[in-house]
Amino acid sequence: MASHLGASRALSTTKRELRGRGRRADGSRRSQERPGVLAMAGRERPTLYTPDGKPYKAEADGGGPPPAHSLKQFRDSLDGGKRTEEEVPQARMNFRPPSELGLDQAVDVDPDSAAQLIRSRAKPWFELAKLLLAMERSGWNSSKIAEATDLDPRMQNTWKTASSVYFSLQADPAFEKELLPYFATEVSPEILAEVRILPSNQRSSAAAFVAKNSFQVMQARELSRAIKDWRFRLDGRTGFSNTPGDALAFKYWRDANELKKKGEILAKIENALKVAETEPAVRKLRAFANSLLEEDMPTQDLPTASVIELEQQDMSFAQVSMAGLLGEVSAKEVADAPNPPSTGLFGICRPPNDAKWAILPRWPALQRAVQATCVLVQDGLIVDKALRKANEGKSKPPALLLLERFGVGQERPVQTDLYLMEEAAGSPLQLVLGSAIKDGAKPCAKVLAVVKSPSSRVV
């Protein structure tokens, strides 16, 4: 046992000595350099130069320490040639991708002024998009911009994306300029954002088709996807060209082939005939429809009336009585506001008297309400002040307060909720926070939700 241990220690000592002399344990010499490393990099070892331009020798080869100035020549040798001192800093500048067309124009406005212009929607949205970029360059992030402009981060991104499409259409000589006003409305950014996914050579024709057919967001999305799918869908594509209308008609034709009911199939073909742009596409669609109709209507044109089958979600709206205008409406008017009438098939009803009504989605808050009514606020700034989102500022778009009227035995006000109550008996109702209500005072109604119109986000 001891002899084996001694032999093992002797072998370890021999290995250490050989490694110190540049040899392996088997006695062969190790290379002082790892071969092939520079070769794998695809180029030879770079050369340093002395002040007289001669190649520098390392101290191991009889040379001296590398001169400081040779570092520049070392960089030059990597670039394949020498550069002047003025060229070196320029080459080190960070790469900046080209600006989006139309957005690279300098906007000479400070961030606070830009925020005020955006908040008041003083210009068309595509001009205000330039101000967003100017604010970002000044260090404002999307949250700070949203707080100052009432433009949420998602819509900020939509404006920037859509404005690049707008300015590209504006600069495209093939695009009909009389169609540009269609994309200056409040929903235009979301429409153009859908067209953005298309290649540049198809974007103008798609945008023109959208404008000529008065497409909205969902229709523009469907069109853009149909155009992208056209090139990959080969089965049955004969007769449908790659124009926007034919691409959409081809999509409807494919949808029709997946349906089972004759009425649903004919409805899809009818939609396809409305958008088809070429005669071969129209002929193919009519032949398909006539084959379904067989002997009933072999050659007649299809009827133009659309058949719509309602889904449950299509009926998810509720009528809410309008009690009046905040600052004018009294507690009695809120209490006397009528309850919604019962509705029959298709939501048909007969509203009582001459009361005004608001049609709102059936939000959970509205479904839980027992005695719901609503009040209109002409200046949205009043609501922002009550919510502690603003102190002062310009007027904001109107808002609607969805209310739950207080009844007998109503619970005490919650400090963080908003309520309507009178300052004095018979005076107009005011919007107050629960923490400001004195003990024993009874509010008229509780605010369930603050409803803002789409115009409060995009103009």
CA distance 307 to 269: 12
Q: Which amino acid is at 276?
A: A
CB under 8 Å, gap of 24 or more: what pairs does 78-86 form? Answer: 78/46
Q: Which of 324, 325, 326, 352 is nearest to 339 (CA)?
A: 352
In single-letter form, the type of residue at position 286 comes to R
Nearest alpha-carbon partner for 394 in 119, 110, 146, 132: 119
| Closest alpha carbon to 450 in 406, 405, 398, 413 | 398
85 DSSP 8-state letter: T
Handedness of CA 319, 323, 325, 331 (dihedral sign): negative
Q: pLDDT at position 211, please?
A: 94
Q: Indicate if the alpha-carbon torsion angle 384, 389, 390, 396 is positive or negative.
A: negative
Run means of pLDDT, 10 residues per run, the chain, 459 residues: 49 50 52 44 50 53 50 48 42 37 57 88 90 88 90 91 92 91 91 90 92 93 92 87 93 89 88 93 90 58 66 76 87 85 73 79 83 88 76 77 74 77 82 81 86 62
What pLDDT, in 10s, does the model give residues 258-306? 888 888 888 999 999 999 999 999 999 998 888 887 645 444 455 667 6
What pLDDT, on the 0 to 100 scale, is given for residue 64? 53
- Nearest 5°: the CA angle 101, 106, 107 is 115
pLDDT at 59: 46
Give the amino acid at 107.
V
Place of tokens 């032999």: 7
pLDDT of res. 407: 65
Q: What are phi and psi of 154, to 5 degrees?
A: -65, -45
Cβ atoms 457, 152 nearer than 8 A: yes
Alpha helices (runs of H) in 217-278, residue ranges in sequence order: 217-230, 244-257, 262-275
pLDDT in tens, 217-239: 999 999 999 999 998 888 888 99
CA–CA distance, 150 with 143 (Å, rounded to integer) = 10
Residues in the chain: 459
Dmax of the chain from CA atoms?
Answer: 115
